[in-house]
Amino acid sequence: MQLDPTDRKILTLLQDDAQLTIKEIASKINLSVTPVHERIKKLEKEGFIDKYVSLLNRRKLGKSLVVYCNVTLDKQRKESFEDFNQAIVNMSEVLECSVVSGNFDYMLKVIVEDGEAYNQFYQQKLSALKSVLHISSYFVISEIKYTTGIEVV
């Protein structure tokens, strides 16, 4: 399926504010509600829109510390990767985890309450995994930018 400029405008609006009513969107792009509604349903069905979420304020919820981790696995063990992946998916502290190229294996983004909580997480959860060989932690001091919005060209 090919997106036209109207679809792109709708996607751009929705990824910034999913609470916009169809009428509001219609008004912003000079259309009536019918085509806007139909297009949104189509975009959902075709998989351009993955899901609608509300973004919570992590500080308000006591998760003030963000840490990026580089993890290297013990390549000797054949099942290392599967074991590790499985474990990571079930850790609520880990928001993002990807296999990356370079001189380590995984990049993680972790959020916790504070340094003490990270120490707990590090010692009892992450480094406790048998497949883990090495971890480097980078503490976030200041968040310059965070967005879930991607450019819709």
Partner DNA sequence: CGCTAATCAGAAAAAAATACTGAATGCAAC
Partner DNA sequence: GTTGCATTCAGTATTTTTTTCTGATTAGCG
Q: Which residues bind DNA (CB under 7 A)?
A: 4, 6, 21-24, 26, 30-35, 37-39, 41
CA distance 20 to 26: 10
> Is residue 150 classed exposed, middle or buried when 0-12, 13-18 and 19+ CB atoms within 10 A define those classes?
exposed
82 lines the binding site for a second copy (CB under 8 A): no
Q: Where does this chain touch a second copy (CB under 8 A) — which range of 31-39, 48-56, 72-80, 118-126?
A: 48-56
Cβ closest to a second copy, residue 76 vs residue 89: 89
Of 34 and 86, the one with the shorter C-beta distance to DNA is: 34
Token pair 């139909």 in the structure block, residue: 38
Of 25, 36, 63, 131, the residue at the interface with a second copy (CB under 8 A) is: 63
The site partner of 79 among DNA, a second copy, none (C-beta below 5 to 8 Å per kind) is none
129 near a second copy, rule: CB under 8 A: no
Contact code string over 92-111 relative to a second copy, x by CB under 8 A = xxxxxxxxxxx---xx---x
Q: Are 135 and 71 in contact (CB under 8 A)?
A: yes
d(CA 17, CA 58): 19
Q: What's the DSSP call for residue 32?
A: -
Q: HSE (CB half, 13 Å, CA atoms) of 46? A: 12
Q: Of 8-16, 23-31, 72-80, 122-130, which part binds a second copy (CB under 8 A)?
A: 8-16
- Tell me if 69 sits within 8 A of 127, measured CB to CB: no
By CB under 8 A, is residue 6 in contact with a second copy?
no
